[in-house]
């Protein structure tokens, strides 16, 4: 109960806005019809929904990155990389691979590079193992 009161103290306007969208008001709690448990349930659900004001307040860098923007960024990254590969295939020199669109929670240093040169197919098949090992025979 104390953590619920602290959350209301800290994020009252956002919680009030989310309650209004549900047809409720903070002043309606507690009552015979709406208990503190009901309020907690609504607030917990608001914390998990990207369209809620509370979620946007708690996740200021991520709130715009739900499924649709993430998929669009992936699509754009893939199209840019496809263009890069097309240019390479047609002999364009001195071009660098495109950088992916920045996403919240992902840094440029998250990618792991192993080695500097491409592996020969037999070494790659051995490294991958499993069904790929048959490619080596």
Residue by residue, DSSP assigns 1-40 as -HHHHHHHHHHHHHHHHHHHHTT--GGG-SSSSS-HHHHH
100 and 80 fall within a common domain: yes
Range of the domain at 78: 65-106
pLDDT recorded at residue 112: 66
Look at the chain and report how many structural domains it folds into. Answer: 3
pLDDT (tens digit per residue) in 80-122: 999 999 999 999 999 999 999 988 877 766 566 777 888 888 8
pLDDT recorded at residue 94: 93
75 and 50 fall within a common domain: no
7 and 54 fall within a common domain: yes
Give me the residue label for tokens 């929670």: 105
10 and 54 fall within a common domain: yes
132 and 96 fall within a common domain: no
69 and 88 fall within a common domain: yes
pLDDT recorded at residue 69: 87
19 pLDDT more than 90: yes
9 and 44 fall within a common domain: yes
54 and 69 fall within a common domain: no
96 and 121 fall within a common domain: no
51 and 69 fall within a common domain: no
Structure tokens, 111:
């990618």
46 and 16 fall within a common domain: yes
75 pLDDT more than 90: yes
49 and 17 fall within a common domain: yes
pLDDT recorded at residue 128: 81
Structure tokens, 60:
């200021």
């Amino acid at each position: 109960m104390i953590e619920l009161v602290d959350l209301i103290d800290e994020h009252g306007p956002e919680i009030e806005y989310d309650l209004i969208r549900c047809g409720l008001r903070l002043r309606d709690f507690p009552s015979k019809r709406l208990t503190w448990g009901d309020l907690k349930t609504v607030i917990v659900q608001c914390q998990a929904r990207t369209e809620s004001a509370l979620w946007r307040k708690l996740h200021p860098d991520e709130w715009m990155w739900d499924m649709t923007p993430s998929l669009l960024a992936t699509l754009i990254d893939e199209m840019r990389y496809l263009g890069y590969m097309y240019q390479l295939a047609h002999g364009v020199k001195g071009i660098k691979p495109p950088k992916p669109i920045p996403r919240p929670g992902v840094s440029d240093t998250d990618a792991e590079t192993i080695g500097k040169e491409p592996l020969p197919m037999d070494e790659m098949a051995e490294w991958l193992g499993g069904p790929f090992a048959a490619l080596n025979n």
